[in-house]
Amino acid sequence: MKKNLWLRFGCLLTGYNYYLVQHSSELSAKAVKKFTSAILLIVLVWIFIAYSFATNYLHVGVWGGLIASIIAAFVVIQIERIIILSTKVNKWSVTFRVALAIVMAILGSFIIDQIIFKDDIELRKTQIMEDRVKVAIKISEAEVDEQVRNMDSSIFQLEQRSQKLSEELQKNPVIVTSFTNTSVTRDNEGNRINSVNSTNKMVNENPKKRELEQIHEQVNILNGQKFKTLGSLDSIKANKEKELRKSSGFIDELNILHEVITSSKIGLLVYLLFFFFFLSIELFVVTIKVFDKASDYDRLINHQTDVRIKMLERLNL
């Protein structure tokens, strides 16, 4: 029963007619099983690749990765069934399948290598990000430097004014104001008899002291703004790095992976091994189809086709 279930599943996957395979020889059943194993191997590999690509670079989450895996499995099965169900495999179909296999092997090996060389890619990405951040914050640094220079200039002018006021206050800490009062004595008839002049002095705080205090307050405010502006460079750098890392995509990682692979013979060897591994897997089905001898199932299909053609020809007579 299990054997029949596996054969049924193989026929469903490859497109073979289960009734005809069941009534054919064991050679036909083995051919179905070989094609089934080859397709399943390819499908499992591409499910993994599609899931990794969708979750890592399309950022679609687990469910999105599962949907991408199902789509990839469906596409691979349909491509392989085209080859399997072809009664005659000509050179053009083989050439097309080989070309498609090369493309898929390149993509597959790149995606797998990105997973294998993940730590090396992250290390190289960190170095590249530092260079990009330096370029990105150059304009911001120039703006901050200009603001700091303006503040330094204002602080320098205020300090000069403060020094001048301090010197003046040392000489004249207070302001003395003198005023004269005149007292007049008159008789009963209002005639002036005598007048007395008295001089009074009033000591007031020099108003320049208040101006000096205001200058000190302005200098403290400018110094605070200056340190705050200088400190903003760190936050600007962090925000720029966050933005650049967020915008890093599949192409960036491919470029970094290319640098990692080409900079090391071992890395290049690993890539080539995976490339030929994927290429071999992709060519399983077409290789079996081309080099295996036709089974009685194939001959039965061809015989049925010939019979139908002859019947149609007789009807047209």
pLDDT tens-digit profile, the chain (317 residues):
445 788 888 888 888 888 888 877 788 888 888 888 888 988 988 898 888 888 877 778 889 889 999 998 998 888 888 888 776 667 777 788 788 888 888 888 877 877 777 777 777 777 777 776 677 677 677 777 777 788 888 878 877 777 776 776 666 665 555 555 555 555 566 555 555 555 555 546 656 667 667 777 887 887 777 777 777 767 766 776 666 666 556 677 777 777 777 777 887 888 888 888 888 887 877 787 777 776 777 777 777 777 777 787 777 75
Does residue 201 fall inside a structural domain?
no
Closest CA to 162 of 208, 212, 197, 128: 212
- How many C-beta neighbours within 10 Å does residue 170 have? 8
Query: What pLDDT sits at residue 42?
Result: 87
Q: What is the CA radius of gyration of the chain?
A: 46
Within-domain flag for 111: yes
If one counts the domains in the chain, the total is 1
Please tell me the predicted confidence (pLDDT) of residue 168.
67
Name residue, tokens 């005598």.
194
Rounded CA gap, 42 and 40, in Å? Answer: 5
C-alpha pair distances (Å), 27 with each of 22, 31, 117, 206: 11, 6, 44, 116
Name the residue with tokens 């600007």: 236
Q: Is residue 165 in a domain? A: no
In a domain, 199, yes or no: no
Please indicate, yes or no, if residue 248 is contained in any of the structural domains.
no
Residue 232 lies in a domain: no
Domain assignment present for residue 236? The answer is: no
C-alpha 294/C-alpha 87 separation (Å) is 10
Predicted pLDDT of residue 189: 60
Full domain range(s) for residue 46? 2-133+261-316
**Burial class for 197, CB neighbours closer than 10 Å (0-12, 13-18, 19+):** exposed
Residue 187 domain-assigned? no
The predicted structure's pLDDT at residue 201: 53
Question: What is the model's pLDDT at position 128?
Answer: 73
pLDDT at 66: 92
